[in-house]
Amino acid sequence: MIYSRLTVLKKIPANELLALRRNTSVMISTTKHRFYLSLFFFMSGLSFSTWASRIPTIKAAFDFNEAELGSILLALPIGSLLGLPLSGWLVSKYNSRVPLTVGYGLNAFSLAFIGFAHNTFTLVVAVVLFAFTTRIFNISVNTQALTLQKQFEKKIVGSFHGYWSIGGIAGILLSTLLLGLDVSIHVHFAVVAVVMLVVTLYSYQFLLKGDRAETGNKLILSKPDPYIFYLGMVVFLCAICEGGMFDWSGIYFQEIIKVEIFTYGYLIFMTFMATSRFLSDLIVARFGMAKTYIMSALCIIFGIGLAVVFPLFWPAMIGFSLVGFGTAAIIPMSYALAGASKKYSAGMAISIIATYSITGMLLGPPLIGYLAHAFNLRVSFVIFALCGVLLIPITQMFFKHQKLSDKTD
């Protein structure tokens, strides 16, 4: 068998054999890039869910009411806004793996900082730093994902975001376990931070190199580009839903559903978000992006309606699962469409779209907190259903504009 294979190889011309070896090397390299980039998405989800799943712990430790907690959560999008111009500049100035690695390493430090915060001031500083570094990392890792997508015929962007959700599930499960064991928040966050640092230092060597775009790296100050504007509004509405569910699902199950293990709601939300993201590429291929946006919006509307109208354990679990399934595909689809912008490079387009996302994060969680304090938490969750309703006409306007611009070109 070995002899026959060697005989076949001898019959291949030297130049073709060299090309075959190069192609095999590229294939292995691309596979490694995808694996370690997926690992970063996974760890990012783990980091964020570690923070979000412990928000009820922080609320109880500092004795915050809903409005006060809403104000603390306001620090998250403010930190993201501060990191936005720097992240866009770094990705346009350097290869994205540099800000990706540095941003994620600092993100680990800031997560541990949150766990050791003992007063409101240090907590706010830690949360701002956490959001700031998350923003730098997110712009970089999504730039890497869009660059790697060009080396694959099938769509893979949705799967990356799926690994983020899987990381989120892992973080929630770990939090649930440690809560049951009565492990303190500072030990919990410190352990996760150490794991993040180890992964970052080892995985840096396997990230894409030389992905800086030569054109489209400057922000053009002019009338808003309709292509980017519509996508931005879609991401804005989705960010209100995602941010609100991340930060308030645990509180909802603790105070409205009245369950002792308050991570159930967040866990089911993230589980179905992960499922949807792994299926999103297949769903988009089968139905197209326009119909997938509509199906996503309907899942959000009916899911929130079920959880609000029937504030019981199983209706809420089913409702939160529908919301997770609905929100999951929206941002990956929007980022993929943004990467096809004719006006901006992929990194700059994502950075602009991220501005809308951060604004949604800015308004969503604090708005839920203030409405919950003024009325009640059930009423405040209706905001998510309203966002789902608005998603339908805005996505339709985007695809109409896309068709018109294609005809013009």
Residue 22 covered by a domain: no
Sign of the alpha-carbon torsion through 212, 216, 222, 225: negative
Least confident residue range of 108-112, 170-174, 223-227, 364-368: 223-227
Residue 339 covered by a domain: yes
Residue 124 covered by a domain: yes
- Looking at the structure of the chain, the number of domains it has is 1
Each residue of 318-368: pLDDT tens digit?
A: 999 999 999 988 988 998 898 777 777 766 777 788 778 878 877 888 889
- What's the pLDDT band for 2 if we cut at 50, 70, 90? very low
Each residue of 390-409: pLDDT tens digit?
A: 999 999 999 998 888 777 66
- What's the pLDDT band for 136 if we cut at 50, 70, 90? confident
Per DSSP, helices labelled H in 116-225 are 120-149, 157-180, 185-203
Average pLDDT over residues 1-23: 44
Separation CA 398–CA 395 (nearest Å): 5
Residue 8 covered by a domain: no
Per-residue pLDDT, 24: 40
Least confident residue range of 55-69, 80-94, 394-408: 80-94
Residue 334 covered by a domain: yes
Stretch (H or E) spanning 332 = helix 330-339
Which pair of structure tokens corresponds to residue 295?
């199906």
Please give the mean pLDDT across all residues of the chain.
Answer: 83
Residues whose CB is less than 8 angstroms from the CB of residue 118 and which lie 6 or more positions away in sequence, other chains included: none
Residue 18 covered by a domain: no
Q: Which of 192, 23, 226 is nearest to 108 (CA)?
A: 192
Residues whose CB is less than 8 angstroms from the CB of residue 209 and which lie 6 or more positions away in sequence, other chains included: 95, 97
CA dihedral 126, 380, 320, 54 (to 10 degrees): 20
**Domain that includes residue 53, residue range:** 31-206+214-408
Looking at the predicted structure, is the pLDDT value of residue 317 above 80?
Answer: yes
Each residue of 243-301: pLDDT tens digit?
A: 889 888 888 998 899 887 778 888 899 889 888 888 888 888 899 999 999 999 999 99
Kindly report the pTM of this predicted structure. Answer: 0.72
Residues whose CB is less than 8 angstroms from the CB of residue 99 and which lie 6 or more positions away in sequence, other chains included: 87, 90, 91, 136, 137, 139, 140
CA distances from 190 to 116, 193, 195 (A): 9, 5, 9
Per-residue pLDDT, 256: 92
Directed axis angle between helix 14-53 and helix 97-115, to 10°? 20
Per-residue pLDDT, 270: 87
Residue 110 covered by a domain: yes
Domain of 339, CATH number, reads 1.20.1250.20
Share of the chain above pLDDT 70, in %: 86
Separation CA 49–CA 174 (nearest Å): 10
CA dihedral 280, 282, 288, 291 (to 10 degrees): -50
CA distances from 294 to 360, 389, 390 (A): 20, 9, 10
DSSP 384-395: HHHHHHHHHHHH
Which pair of structure tokens corresponds to residue 161?
């975001």
- Of 61 and 155, the one with more pLDDT: 61
Separation CA 384–CA 308 (nearest Å): 11
Q: Is 216 left (phi over 0), alpha (psi -120 to 50) or beta?
A: left
Per-residue pLDDT, 388: 96
